């Protein structure tokens, strides 16, 4: 492609001559990215396809323009634009040269390179540009392994990562024009919040889905895109039916324990293939696997893992279900929210806990060397047998780690109980998600 053709494409993706749509601001990510910009590192934005990475990049670019009035100093390139050809390091160099020639930036530019994994040998160009201090570089991608493997090899210790998730519940409410700023808002808008929580559980939180009336069709399209573009094409998968069956099984069984050997018997293909495909699904951010807590790494690796979806709407649309499974959906939401907190506090580690008597606690949070919190998710806490079972397990875990407080997240029950000096707090999911 000649430089004039490249410039025509680039003009569509940049603020040089017009304003671009930037969507709803997502300040948690923007604040994190602004902090990272104060360093000299390459910034890596990763996460599931359609989780909002491109809009967050635009929001960051827009904020820099507003602050410094430097439209020409910012280049945004979306490598999923089908008009781009020669998607390799040479093609990337041509794009950069065309930008320098026509825009003539006054200072070191900011390069926003979206879906960089589409460019062959991109990592070598990024390393050279970074080492020569040509630009401040922000890249995004939809595959964790591709980014981490290439960057760890070539940019060890010289990149900072931000993982973007679908909307948090607070963000979701803002998208629905319900902004909760203080405790009084909780009281005045409680009915609306609870109604929207049900929608959040059912349809999930991909930004486009939240704003659209065609939710299930969009989610089906997302599923096909993630499987085809981020896994089948990327890893040259031939056993497509097996991959699809495995994914649907996981999405039908969120918040459940699983092992590769047990799935081998259920799905009738090898545990090795299941393990490999499971890794691909995790790399594409469609699924996550939570390990059991143990002081022995070997025991962590050998124990069953719990599976969670990146989005409950995706699980409901793709997975098979014959009941609402609100308890499992609620647990999945808690898992995702805890992972958002991990993004802000990198020292946090997340596990589930289970003892030799099969007493189980949904989440154990470790901060550096100390177990900091244990959390149980129990949707229908009013059923006495369920409540007693959940509380016994929680108290046992608290006793093992010397904790004085434990948390049970419920549908709507709110209280506190004392058990021989140990406090159990019961908090409604909607309040916990909003930080109250």
Confirm if 196 and 171 have CB atoms less than 8 A apart: no
With a CB cutoff of 8 Å and minimum separation 6, the contacts of 195 are none
* Dist. CA 13–CA 76, nearest whole Å: 6
Structural domain spans, the chain: 3-164, 200-433
Correct CATH for 3-164 of 3.40.190.80, 3.40.190.10, 3.30.1300.10, 3.40.50.300? 3.40.50.300
With a CB cutoff of 8 Å and minimum separation 6, the contacts of 22 are 55, 58, 59, 62
**What pLDDT score does 159 carry?**
81
**What pLDDT score does 383 carry?**
75
* Dist. CA 110–CA 392, nearest whole Å: 54
**What pLDDT score does 151 carry?**
65
Q: Cα Rg for the chain, rounded, in angstroms?
A: 23
Looking at residue 71, the DSSP 8-state letter turns out to be G
Confirm if 107 and 70 have CB atoms less than 8 A apart: yes
286-to-47, 282, 332 alpha-carbon distances in Å: 9, 6, 13
- Mean pLDDT for the chain? 93
Per-residue DSSP letters for 416-427?
EEEETTEEEEEE
**What pLDDT score does 148 carry?**
65
Looking at residue 434, the DSSP 8-state letter turns out to be T
Q: Is 20 exposed, middle or buried (CB count within 10 Å of its CB: 0-12, 13-18, 19+)?
A: middle
Q: Is 298 exposed, middle or buried (CB count within 10 Å of its CB: 0-12, 13-18, 19+)?
A: exposed
Q: Residues in the chain with pLDDT < 50? A: none
Strand order of the β-sheet with 287-290 is: 256-258, 305-309, 287-290
Please tell me the pTM assigned to this model: 0.94
């Amino acid at each position: 492609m000649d430089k004039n053709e490249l410039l025509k494409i680039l003009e569509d993706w940049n603020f040089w001559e017009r304003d671009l749509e930037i969507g709803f601001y997502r300040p948690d990510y923007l604040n994190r990215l602004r902090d990272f910009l104060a360093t000299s590192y390459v910034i890596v934005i990763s996460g599931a396809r359609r989780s909002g990475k491109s809009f967050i990049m635009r929001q960051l670019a827009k904020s820099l323009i507003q602050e410094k009035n430097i439209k020409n100093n910012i280049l945004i390139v979306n490598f999923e634009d089908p008009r781009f050809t020669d998607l390799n390091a040479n093609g990337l160099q041509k794009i950069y040269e065309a930008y320098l020639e026509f825009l003539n930036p006054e200072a070191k530019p900011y390069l926003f390179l979206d879906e960089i994994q589409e460019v062959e040998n991109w990592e070598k160009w990024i390393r050279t540009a970074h080492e020569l201090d040509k630009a401040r570089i922000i890249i995004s991608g939809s595959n964790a392994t591709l980014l981490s493997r290439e960057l760890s090899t070539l940019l060890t210790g010289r990149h900072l990562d931000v993982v973007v998730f679908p909307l948090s519940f607070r963000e979701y409410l803002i998208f629905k024009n319900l902004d909760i700023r203080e405790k009084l808002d909780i009281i005045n808008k409680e009915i609306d919040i609870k109604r929207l929580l049900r929608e959040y559980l059912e349809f999930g939180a991909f930004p486009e889905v939240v704003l659209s009336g065609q939710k299930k069709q969009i989610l089906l399209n997302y599923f096909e895109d993630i499987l085809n573009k981020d896994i089948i094409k990327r890893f040259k998968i031939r056993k497509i039916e097996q991959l699809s069956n495995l994914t649907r099984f996981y999405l039908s069984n969120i918040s459940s324990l699983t092992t590769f050997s047990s799935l081998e018997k259920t799905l009738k293909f090898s545990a090795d293939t299941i393990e490999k495909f499971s890794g691909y699904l995790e790399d594409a951010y469609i699924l996550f696997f939570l390990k059991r807590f143990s002081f022995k790494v070997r025991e962590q690796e050998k124990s069953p893992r719990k599976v969670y979806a990146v989005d409950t709407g995706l699980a409901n649309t793709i997975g098979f279900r014959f009941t609402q499974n609100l308890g499992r959906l609620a647990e999945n939401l808690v898992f995702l929210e805890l992972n958002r907190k991990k993004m802000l506090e990198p020292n946090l580690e997340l596990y589930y806990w289970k003892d030799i008597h099969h007493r189980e606690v949904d989440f154990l949070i470790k901060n550096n060397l100390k177990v900091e919190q244990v959390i149980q998710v129990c949707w229908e806490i009013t059923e006495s047998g369920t409540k007693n079972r959940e509380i016994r397990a929680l108290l046992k875990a608290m006793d093992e780690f010397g904790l004085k407080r434990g948390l049970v997240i419920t549908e709507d029950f709110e209280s506190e109980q004392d058990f021989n000096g140990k406090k159990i707090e019961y908090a409604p999911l909607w309040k916990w998600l909003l930080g109250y």
